[in-house]
Amino acid sequence: MKTICPCCQSTVVYEMTDGISINLIDQLLSPAVLVSLGVSLCKSLKVHPAIGVVAGTTVSALIEMTQSHKALPMLVNKQYRCDDCSHVFTSLH
């Protein structure tokens, strides 16, 4: 479905992006961060670090599985700019 400008009804609209493609939450829940957190936690609790590697990898895999099998797509507000009239508007997707 093509996005239409609500001001001039033009179909020549472009999605405005801020250039940041990786979310902060995605960075914090990355496999590398979770594994290192598991290792650090095991070292502080005097447990073998390999257990932290296994736990971090398992948690990371579970998060990845739940994110890839979402039943409903996430609704996102996207900003668009009309190339004809320069109107900036938001559309819910």
pLDDT score, position 42: 93
pLDDT at 77 over 90: no
What integer is the mean pLDDT of 45-67?
89
Cα–Cα distance for residue pair 29/36, rounded to 1 Å: 11
DSSP SS3 for 72:
coil
Total Cβ atoms within 10 A of residue 39: 19
pTM above threshold 0.85: no
For the record, the structure tokens of 89 come out as 């508007």
Cα–Cα distance for residue pair 38/54, rounded to 1 Å: 8
For the record, the structure tokens of 3 come out as 């996005």
Mean pLDDT for all residues in the chain: 80
Q: Per DSSP, which regions of the chain are E strands?
A: 13-15, 77-82, 88-92
